[in-house]
A and B are shown apart, each in its own frame.
Chain A
Amino acid sequence: MMTQLTLDMGEIGRRYNVVGINAGRGLSEKIMEMGIVPGTEIKIISRFGGHVIVMVRGSVIALSRGISRKILISPLE
């Protein structure tokens, strides 16, 4: 079994794979439209003000705690 955790638990500087989004329709659509789709590689670059800052497909995106808790990730490499 792969270890799974939510995005807010991830370590700064590490890469992860998005494995699932555990949110209602509207929100999960918004998350996916920002490029965070299951199967995407995501890198956590920072954290501030209760937000997780990630790099996805060359963009830097800030997600509030409530949203990042709904994204399931598993560590790469």
Chain B
Amino acid sequence: MLRGKVKAIEINREEIEGVIALVGATNVGKSTLFNVLTRQNVKVSNWPGTTVSKHEGLLEIDGEKYLFIDLPGIHGYYGLTLDESISKNYLLEGSYDLVIVIGDYSDLVRSLYTVILVSETFLKNLIVINKSDLIDQESSQEFDELISKRLGVESISISAIKESNIDHLIKRIKTLIKNKYSAHEIYVNYGDLEKYIQNIIEVLSKYSFDRSKISLRGLAVNFLAEDPDIESFIAKTVSKEDHRKLLEIRLTAKKELNRDLTEIIISSRYAFIEDLIKRSSVAKYVYKETYEKTWIDKIMEKPMGSAILLLGILFSLFLLIFIINTGFPLNIIFSLIGLEDIAVVIEENSLSGLLSKAFEYLSDYIKSLMSSYPEPLVGLLTDGIIAGVSAVIVFIPLIYLVSLGFAILEDSGVATRLAVGLHKTFSRFGFSGRYAYPVLVSLGCNVPGVMLSRGAFDSRERLAQILSIPFIPCQARLIVALAVAQALFSGEPLYQALLILWIYVLGIMISLISGFIIRRLVLKERYSPELIIDLPRIHRPYAKVVGWISWSYTKEFLIRAGVIIFILSIFIWFITNFGPEGYTTEFSQSYGYIIGSYVTPFLKPFNINNSIGPIIGLAFLQGFVAKEGLLSTLTIITGSEDPVSAINSLQLTASQMISILTFGMLYVPCLATLSVIYQETRSWRWTLFSIIYMLFIAYIVTLVTYHTLIIFMR
């Protein structure tokens, strides 16, 4: 299988002493614990048949290897439960030795609900309660003992951040796996339902479920609660007749009790948890009378313009990052007001400016060194390979800094509040408030934008984000648009500004509408996204967590997208430097030119002269490598001095020009973005889909634009 081939570690199942799954509600610190246990010795792949990522990590201790699997978290986003379903089915399949169910002292009642839910059915469980640093040691010890006593299962309080009690946890994991441990069944009292639970257990006990792993009582309760995954698991095992019997029991229960069974089950579980907590001294941390509003809560409460204010905060943060990285948008602003010199200085001294310069020197140096070698070889080395490496490297500071900013917002708990504050605006288009980050970052560059889709509430929203982000006009596209605006409306700044504004409005609108299209038509989701979510406590971000997140984003980019960008860069170098006659420096002799000529029929509806078809085609092909490549290619093939005169030399009407620009803004993700789309979806199908989808939408929008324009411009 191709999936998961590119990775940091090789996992050989036969050498593994035990497989341990981690589950827990959102925000309990599951990722933190996972990283503490595996020290980032991690492989990322996908759950089969989905775009949900699967994290596996190795812990090696005294020569023994343990494999940890981070199961998808349970998020508070209504209507989409694919992630939850994956975790449940993994546990039902039972190919693990231990499942660690994680609770959290900062949100004890809610997190224990998930703990009970899981450990009630899956017996190879070990309860871990994280964030013990928030309460006193005595209370946490006492609570562990209370759980062992009243539930009959082992519980260990830890602090993943402070790494306290982790050694003890690892020791227990080893011992429990060696002893093939199964926990006791947990007895939540379900009152009136008990009778029916017993009836169901009776039916189920005829069958050979793996009783060391699965509790029949747990199955019975979840069957009564109509859990779809458990239902189909039971239906697969029992006979048709017994299945009918089970359904009858459930129906009788409903009739006789005349109540919603799920309501009884959920309230019984909560009653059980609260009773447990009230017997312990941790209760004083849980039930607080007042909630202290933080600065961010206070900002968000302001009736007017809270969304604008929030976007402002995010915008400034990412703006700062972009200025450091590429000088954008300061460089553009300065050059627009005529201070070209300052613009150049800013651009050259930005991080990526310095990096590009270094690579330029390197490639010039090699060119001079190898002047006696054949031209194609030198070209391949410098314009192909070194340019490819530089295309990857230049992104690194950007990705690192953007993910750093993002990690700080996420870890502090601010991100969730911002998402809630912006949710209303975005939900009209089928996104959650979390789409704000990718959108803002993408205005600078789509590559980190696509990566920030990881903040989405679940895997389906994430897919919608990934497919919609590339419509957002990035810095490179702005440069193209500026050149066209100058060529078209020289000396008319108002029209220039209007054209640029139009490009932004169009790109952002289409990106938003795309959310609606993907959600309704592609994912066939009926609900509009409603939100019900835990607000985590606001705290100072932990350097360790923030460091992990930003480093792992960067590393993944390098390993996965980097390789693709590199290979594609060389490929594009090849097709623009080779033709049927072999090596050539003439664009018009290259394969690229031939490929470019295929666009000619598509230009028909725009009444564009056939002879410039291949030129536009080739420019778009180069624009696929990097959008600003559109301009340099045009300049070279038309033999012009600068981009503006190159555009003028095409002798297009204003309507044609604006249409082609519109297409150029929307048509395909650039090569680097495409590589990251693959990196994030880990699916060639969705990657290919994104190209076709964008081409399709871009073409339609361009047609509409053109035909509207020729009506008005006549």
Binding site for B on A (CB under 8 A): 25-35, 37-40, 45-51, 53, 55, 57-67
Residues of A within 8 A of B270 (CB): 35, 37, 40, 57
| CA of A50 to CA of B303, assembled, Å | 10
| Residue contacts A-B, CB under 8 angstroms, 6 given | A26-B79, A28-B262, A35-B110, A49-B433, A60-B534, A67-B532
Q: How many residues of B contact A (CB 8 A)?
A: 41
Rounded to whole Å, the gap between the CB of A70 and the closest CB of chain B is: 9
Residues of B within 8 A of A64 (CB): 423-424, 427, 530-532
Residues of A within 8 A of B149 (CB): none
Q: In the complex, are the beta carbons of A57 and B530 less than 8 A apart?
A: no
Residues of B within 8 A of A49 (CB): 300, 306-307, 420-424, 433
Known interface pairs A34-B110, A48-B306. Does A53 touch B535 (Cβ–Cβ under 8 Å)? yes
Q: In the complex, are the beta carbons of A50 and B423 less than 8 A apart?
A: yes
Q: Is B450 an interface residue (CB 8 A)?
A: no
Q: Is B317 an interface residue (CB 8 A)?
A: no
- Among the listed stretches B285-293, B377-385, B686-694, which one makes contact with chain A, having 4 or more residues with CB under 8 Å of it? B285-293
In the complex, what residue of chain B is closest to A30 when comparing beta carbons?
B78
Q: In the complex, are the beta carbons of A62 and B420 less than 8 A apart?
A: yes
Rounded to whole Å, the gap between the CB of B311 and the closest CB of chain A is: 12
Q: In the complex, are the beta carbons of B286 and A58 less than 8 A apart?
A: yes
Contact with A along B54-98 (1 / 0, CB 8 A): 000000000000000000000010110000000000000000000
Residues of A within 8 A of B274 (CB): 57
| CA of A53 to CA of B266, assembled, Å | 22
Known interface pairs A39-B267, A62-B532. Does A51 touch B420 (Cβ–Cβ under 8 Å)? yes
| CA of A33 to CA of B274, assembled, Å | 14
Residues of B227-281 at the interface with A, using a CB-CB cut-off of 8 Å, are 260, 262-263, 266-267, 270, 274
Residues of A within 8 A of B108 (CB): 58
Rounded to whole Å, the gap between the CB of A38 and the closest CB of chain B is: 7
Q: In the complex, are the beta carbons of A58 and B421 less than 8 A apart?
A: no
Q: In the complex, are the beta carbons of B532 and A30 less than 8 A apart?
A: yes
Contact with A along B294-311 (1 / 0, CB 8 A): 000100110000110000
Q: In the complex, are the beta carbons of B287 and A58 less than 8 A apart?
A: yes
Known interface pairs A47-B301, A48-B306. Does A61 touch B267 (Cβ–Cβ under 8 Å)? no
Residues of B within 8 A of A29 (CB): 225, 262, 266
Our pick among B109, B293, B421, B424 for the contact of A59 (Cβ within 8 Å) is B109
| CA of A32 to CA of B261, assembled, Å | 12
Q: Known contacts A49-B433, A57-B109; can you find 17 more A-B pairs with CB under 8 A? A: A26-B79, A31-B532, A32-B266, A35-B113, A37-B263, A37-B266, A37-B270, A49-B300, A49-B420, A50-B423, A50-B424, A58-B107, A60-B535, A62-B533, A64-B531, A66-B528, A67-B78
Residues of B within 8 A of A27 (CB): 78-79, 530
Our pick among B266, B293, B530 for the contact of A66 (Cβ within 8 Å) is B530
Residues of A within 8 A of B110 (CB): 34-35, 57, 59
In the complex, what residue of chain B is closest to A45 when comparing beta carbons?
B291
Rounded to whole Å, the gap between the CB of B105 and the closest CB of chain A is: 11
A-B pairs with lowest CB-CB distance, top 3 = A48-B300, A49-B421, A50-B424
Rounded to whole Å, the gap between the CB of A28 and the closest CB of chain B is: 8
In the complex, what residue of chain A is closest to B268 when comparing beta carbons?
A37
Residues of B within 8 A of A37 (CB): 263, 266-267, 270
Contact with A along B413-437 (1 / 0, CB 8 A): 0000000111110010000010000
| CA of A37 to CA of B427, assembled, Å | 26
Known interface pairs A38-B263, A59-B107. Does A51 touch B531 (Cβ–Cβ under 8 Å)? yes
Rounded to whole Å, the gap between the CB of B308 and the closest CB of chain A is: 12
Q: In the complex, are the beta carbons of B297 and A46 less than 8 A apart?
A: yes
Residues of A within 8 A of B286 (CB): 57-58
In the complex, what residue of chain B is closest to A27 when comparing beta carbons?
B78
| CA of A56 to CA of B288, assembled, Å | 10
Our pick among A30, A61, A65 for the contact of B535 (Cβ within 8 Å) is A61
Q: In the complex, are the beta carbons of A33 and B267 less than 8 A apart?
A: no
Q: In the complex, are the beta carbons of B423 and A51 less than 8 A apart?
A: yes
Q: In the complex, are the beta carbons of B287 and A63 less than 8 A apart?
A: no
In the complex, what residue of chain B is closest to A71 when comparing beta carbons?
B532
Q: In the complex, are the beta carbons of B307 and A62 less than 8 A apart?
A: no
| CA of A37 to CA of B423, assembled, Å | 25
Residues of B within 8 A of A31 (CB): 532
